[in-house]
Structure 1
Amino acid sequence: MRNYSLLLFFLIGFVPLLSAQSKYPKHEFRAAWIASVVNIDWPSKKGLSTEDQKEEFIRMADFLQASGMNALVVQVRPVADAFYESSYEPWSAYLTGKQGQAPEPYYDPLQFMIEESRKRGLEFHAWFNPYRATMNADTTVLDSMHALKQHPEWFVKYGKRFYFDPGNPEVRSFVQNVIMEVVHNYDVDGIHFDDYFYPYPVKDEVFDDSLSYEKYGSEYEVVGDWRRANVDQLIKSVYDSIQAVKPYVKFGISPFGVWRNQSLDPEGSETKAGVNTYDDLYADVRKWLQEGWVDYVVPQLYWTIGFPPAAYDKLADWWSQNTYGRHLYIGQAMYRVKNGKDRNWHKLNQLHKQLQLNHEYPSIQGSIYFSAKSFKKVPEKVLKKIKKKHYRHNALTPPMPWKKQGDLEVPVLLEARKQEDKVRLRWEAVPGQTSSFVIYRFQGDQAGDLSDPQNILTVLSAEQLAKGEYMDQAVKKGKTYTYCITSIDRANNESKPVTLTLKGKQDAWQNELTRKD
């Protein structure tokens, strides 16, 4: 950056990022899962027209943004198929009604969703199911491009579905290529896996990967250790591949809520769950956090506070103690409100209490709700209470300092000019990592608390940044205002702020950089 330090010293005063605690967090991940499998959330049914698909998504994005969300986690690969044009897998039947058939009129749903998310200041995380290949045993509906048609030797039929065999190195390579195709071709903020690794146990059935074990698992005496090693390899290789190409892209996992019961492992949680990620799904999520192979984890804590086999409060406490410096968000079961056998879900304050509990743990930095359509199914008073008590103010998604790519450039402010009851701010574009600006506004001639989200006037996207200006339309004539502006990178790290004060009787503030002799 050009050296304007002396000039900025006189014109623009640096103010510290104050640490006072607000009632509401400035940084919090707030997202909804948008599930496409069996048309749970979007599209609402197979074969909708292109226009109807777009309108549905826009309505959903608008509603979620208005509900306080700042990110979307959208399932783009539900069953070895795609919601984008892939060179590896066919178009999804959940999109067009027939697997392998492109939208007509043609559009790229993934690119469309990313663009619409950007317009609303929402992060976009592409959600992949790595190993599930079908939702039933009927292979006649599969497109010839589907991996099960191309490589039947890669799959195991278990229950009524087909799954990729995680023990086959060719499978791991294929899944990684599928994911990296999206990382290379699309401007996503994150890559997201759900809880399906090795499949959930089916009574009286065996997941028959004996041939793979015989061929590739000779160094492992216990098949479970080999299976965990297979999943470990995929997680590490995906993380490393993302880091090598776009290190700012986040990689997150949403596991089943119980890693291990304490009865099986002293490091486990005080639970009596019948299934756990370590022994049944062969997903050692705690290890991935220890090794730094994921950027965030979202355990699905779909039980109530005090629920005897798996209490929400005990699991929130356990996960908060096992983050190893990575981000922890909680998977919230909004779909269970007023639903299910546990009568505590019928108490309308259960979700509110869970969010209150989350805020007691500094290491819990947000929530993802299952699922998007549940926002419109719960009683309106539940949503109103959550918005009022927890999401009254917008929040920035939490920064990931381990993904920071050097120091961020601060904005170069050029001008602030009054135009009746508005103030027009102009700046010089900041090169490099900057993906957005945060503009804070205070009434008076002093900057206030930058940690309080109430003081955030707006967050400008990269597209808005390129315009080089912003119009503040909520000022009063004759009042003095102080503005602070910071740069944000793709991993949500924030620069030091710059500040300017536009006094009540002053018509314009102008940086000398804009003046000509």
Structure 2
Amino acid sequence: MMNYKRILLYTLFGLTILIASPPNEEFRATWVITWDHINRYETPGQNLERVAKIMDDHADANMNAVIFQVRQSGTAYYQSSYEPWGYYSGYQNPGYDPLEVAIEEAHARGMELHAWFNVFQTSSTHNGTPAAEHPEWICRDQSGNPMTSYRAVSPGLEDVRNYSVNVAMEIVRNYDIDGLHLDYVRWNEHTSTNRNSAPLPEQLNRLDGIISQDEIDALNANSSGRYLYDYEHPYSAGVPDGFSTWEKWWRWSVTEFVSTLHDSIQAVKPHVKLSAAVLGKYNWSGWQGYGTVYQDGALWYNEGYLDHIMPMSYHWTSANGFLGMLSADCPDCWELFIQSGIESGRPFTVGPGSYILDDNNVWNNHSEIVNACRSLSWVDGFQFFSYGTWRDKNYFEAAGETFFIEKSKIGK
């Protein structure tokens, strides 16, 4: 466990101020989206400068890791034998290997590089993508209609799981990454009543697991329209053999992928840490991992299928909100469900949605959120969404002079 001194100030009404000295061991990172590290309209030299600046910014904040997106929509931003280059490189080799460069630049500054890998989301239909090469893999609704937008492949198909493991393992084998970070490792949240297109802000929200209240209501009211089936497991055939409910099969299928990938990594490079961005609410409220998109993050953490869990903590914007979500508001909290993982010493780090703090005009709450989370011995650090927001707010140096004023290494 981390070793550092905490000072807590109380009033008669509970915790109001919390001051914590920075720990000696603490994970510190941001999520870096593809479009922030590569621009199809810039030269290779300009894009290389982008990557160098990303790493310099993290170093200025005394961060020690970078979560760098390299697979998105069934396309790659590294040398892949499975999938094509992505939109932000113009669907062609950009003249350098973005992942290789990111690894070199991060390691040169003493930071870890975690390759961010979108799993089942595959909206691109460009030649060579899963959606183009294997349209039969696309999720279907109860009537057997495949998705036509926001496409996702079915975790229930063994071919999909095996393919996804192979794509991920190519990165693990060929690159000197410190971690592989999974995103969209869940069933999709879409229904046949969803809009076929969305404005840019909504598309951004979809990257991090936030959907509107109307869409949450639709998940409950229009379950027949959800894309939770596939050509081998149609709704009309009933619950797959060996399972008592569809829900159990949906959760099993995603867990099967995660556990298989973890075993595969351990067999080749056991030092590479497998992590996942899971929904911020495990099994409570209308929009949650366990019961809405069948993502059992607590199980993965407790059983060691993940080496590190990184909830997307975007629903909360204050110190009290974070403390409630983590521990104080149980049973609507994480701590109640992850005791085995905590006792095993696996990292649990929180993921504040910095862009939401900005939208809500509470940007300065970053400091109180960090200090509040440090009061819990089992919280091991932070990953902020996203790099682009911090860059636009010119916040890296400020963080390095305040709540990240002391350098910290990654523990565990």
Shorter-chain TM-score above 0.5: yes
Contact 2:318 2:369 in 1 (8 A): no
Matched with 1:407 is: none
Q: Give the Cα–Cα distance (whole angstroms) in 1 for the partners of residues 272 and 291 of structure 2.
A: 30
Q: Deviations over 1:460-485 (max 9, x none)?
A: xxxxxxxxxxxxxxxxxxxxxxxxxx
Matched with 1:207 is: 227
Q: Does 1:85 align with 2:85?
A: no
Matched with 1:32 is: 30
Q: Deviations over 1:8-36 (max 9, x none)?
A: xxxxxxxxxx9774832110000010011
Matched with 2:257 is: 234
Q: Give the Cα–Cα distance (whole angstroms) in 1 for the partners of residues 294 and 378 of structure 2.
A: 25
- State the one-letter code of the partner of 1:86: S
| Aligned with residue 294 of structure 1, among 285, 289, 306 | 306
Q: Give the Cα–Cα distance (whole angstroms) in 2 for the partners of residues 118 and 79 of structure 1.
A: 27
- Residues 383 and 300 from structure 1, CA distance in 2 versus in 1: closer, same or farther, beyond 3 angstroms? farther
Q: How many residues align?
A: 347
Matched with 1:360 is: 375
Matched with 1:152 is: 135
Matched with 1:169 is: 158
Which aligned pairs between 1:365-444 and structure 2 lie closer than 5 A? 365-378=380-393, 384=398, 386-399=399-412
- State the one-letter code of the partner of 2:60: A
Q: Deviations over 1:432-466 (max 9, x none)?
A: xxxxxxxxxxxxxxxxxxxxxxxxxxxxxxxxxxx
User: What is the Cα deviation at residue 319 of structure 1?
Assistant: 2.6
| Aligned with residue 243 of structure 1, among 266, 271, 276 | 266
- State the one-letter code of the partner of 1:209: Y
Q: Give the Cα–Cα distance (whole angstroms) in 2 for the partners of residues 196 and 153 of structure 1.
A: 19
- State the one-letter code of the partner of 1:35: I
Which structure has the bigger radius of gyration?
Answer: 1
User: What is the Cα deviation at residue 210 of structure 1?
Assistant: 5.0
Matched with 1:102 is: 93
Contact 1:331 1:367 in 2 (8 A): yes
Q: TM-score with structure 2 length normalisation?
A: 0.79
Matched with 1:274 is: 286
- Residues 66 and 305 from structure 1, CA distance in 2 versus in 1: closer, same or farther, beyond 3 angstroms? closer
Matched with 2:16 is: none
Contact 1:79 1:132 in 2 (8 A): yes
Shift >4 Å, 4+ stretches: 18-22, 305-308
Q: Deviations over 1:126-146 (max 9, x none)?
A: 0101101116xxx4xx12x22
Contact 2:317 2:357 in 1 (8 A): no
Q: Give the Cα–Cα distance (whole angstroms) in 2 for the partners of residues 20 and 196 of structure 1.
A: 34
Q: Give the Cα–Cα distance (whole angstroms) in 1 for the partners of residues 409 and 268 of structure 2.
A: 25
Matched with 2:276 is: 253
User: What is the Cα deviation at residue 305 of structure 1?
Assistant: 5.3
Secondary structure, counterpart of 1:51 in structure 2: helix
| Aligned with residue 327 of structure 1, among 336, 339, 347 | 347
- Residues 379 and 182 from structure 1, CA distance in 2 versus in 1: closer, same or farther, beyond 3 angstroms? closer
Matched with 1:316 is: 326
User: What is the Cα deviation at residue 60 of structure 1?
Assistant: 1.6
Q: Give the Cα–Cα distance (whole angstroms) in 2 for the partners of residues 312 and 383 of structure 1.
A: 24
User: What is the Cα deviation at residue 61 of structure 1?
Assistant: 1.1
Q: Give the Cα–Cα distance (whole angstroms) in 1 for the partners of residues 251 and 387 of structure 2.
A: 31
Q: Give the Cα–Cα distance (whole angstroms) in 1 for the partners of residues 3 and 264 of structure 2.
A: 36
Contact 1:334 1:378 in 2 (8 A): no
Percent identity (aligned): 27
- State the one-letter code of the partner of 2:302: Q
Q: TM-score with structure 1 length normalisation?
A: 0.63
Q: Which has the higher contact order (CA 8 A, sep 6+)?
A: 2
User: What is the Cα deviation at residue 208 of structure 1?
Assistant: 4.8
Matched with 1:492 is: none
Instruction: Give the gaps of 5 or more residues in structure 1.
Output: 1-17, 262-272, 341-345, 400-517
Matched with 1:122 is: 111
Contact 2:119 2:184 in 1 (8 A): no
User: What is the Cα deviation at residue 300 of structure 1?
Assistant: 1.2
Q: Give the Cα–Cα distance (whole angstroms) in 2 for the partners of residues 333 and 172 of structure 1.
A: 30
Matched with 2:175 is: 186
Contact 2:186 2:254 in 1 (8 A): yes
Per residue, is there more strand in 1 or in 2? 1
| Aligned with residue 113 of structure 1, among 102, 107, 130 | 102
Contact 2:37 2:51 in 1 (8 A): yes
Instruction: Give the gaps of 5 or more residues in structure 2.
Output: 7-20, 140-145, 192-217, 328-332
Contact 1:304 1:350 in 2 (8 A): no
Per residue, is there more helix in 1 or in 2? 2
- Residues 49 and 358 from structure 1, CA distance in 2 versus in 1: closer, same or farther, beyond 3 angstroms? same
Matched with 2:37 is: 42
User: What is the Cα deviation at residue 331 of structure 1?
Assistant: 0.5
Contact 2:319 2:369 in 1 (8 A): no
Secondary structure, counterpart of 2:171 in structure 1: helix
- Residues 168 and 379 from structure 1, CA distance in 2 versus in 1: closer, same or farther, beyond 3 angstroms? same
Contact 2:30 2:387 in 1 (8 A): yes
Q: Deviations over 1:173-192 (max 9, x none)?
A: 00000000011111100000
Q: Give the Cα–Cα distance (whole angstroms) in 2 for the partners of residues 287 and 192 of structure 1.
A: 17
Secondary structure, counterpart of 1:286 in structure 2: helix
